[in-house]
Amino acid sequence: MTDFIHRYEPATNAGSPPLLLLHGTGGDENDLLGLGKMISPGSALLSPRGRVLEHGMPRFFRRLAEGVFDEEDVRRRALELGAFVADARKQYGMTAPIAVGFSNGANIAAALLLLKPDVLAGAILLRAMVPLSDPPKAELGGKPVLLLSGQADPIVPASNSTKLAALLSEAGARVDHKVLPSGHQLSQADVTLARNWIGSVAAEAA
Position 199 scores a pLDDT of 94
The active-site residue out of 70, 176, 184, 187 is 184
Position 2 scores a pLDDT of 58
Mean pLDDT, residues 57-73 taken together: 94
Mean pLDDT, residues 168-191 taken together: 97
The whole-angstrom separation of Cα 110 and Cα 153 is: 18
Q: What is the CATH number of the domain that holds 20?
A: 3.40.50.1820
User: Do the domain assignments include residue 78?
Assistant: yes
Q: What are 40-58's pLDDT values in tens digits?
A: 999 999 999 999 999 999 9
Give the range of the structural domain holding residue 41, as residue numbers without chain letter: 6-205
190 catalytic per annotation:
no
Position 204 scores a pLDDT of 85
184 catalytic per annotation:
yes
The whole-angstrom separation of Cα 105 and Cα 74 is: 11
User: Residue 169: what residue type?
Assistant: S
Partners of residue 179 on adjacent β-strands:
149
The active-site residue out of 153, 161, 182, 190 is 153
Mean pLDDT, residues 92-112 taken together: 97
Q: Cβ(143)–Cβ(174) under 8 Å? A: yes
The whole-angstrom separation of Cα 37 and Cα 152 is: 27
- Each as own residue / partner, the long-range contacts of residues 80-87 (CB below 8 Å, 24 or more positions apart, any chain) are 80/2, 80/51, 81/4, 81/48, 81/108, 81/112, 82/112, 82/115, 82/116, 82/119, 83/2, 84/1, 84/2, 84/4, 84/6, 84/48, 85/20, 85/46, 85/119, 85/120, 86/119, 87/1, 87/2
Q: pTM of the entire structure?
A: 0.97
Q: How many domains does the chain have?
A: 1
103 catalytic per annotation:
yes
pLDDT tier for residue 100 given thresholds of 50, 70 and 90: very high
The whole-angstrom separation of Cα 121 and Cα 118 is: 7
The active-site residue out of 103, 149, 161, 182 is 103
User: Do the domain assignments include residue 172?
Assistant: yes
User: Do the domain assignments include residue 1?
Assistant: no
pLDDT tier for residue 200 given thresholds of 50, 70 and 90: very high
Please give the C-alpha separations between residue 195 and each of 10, 172, 184, 186, in angstroms, as whole numbers: 19, 23, 19, 14
User: Do the domain assignments include residue 22?
Assistant: yes
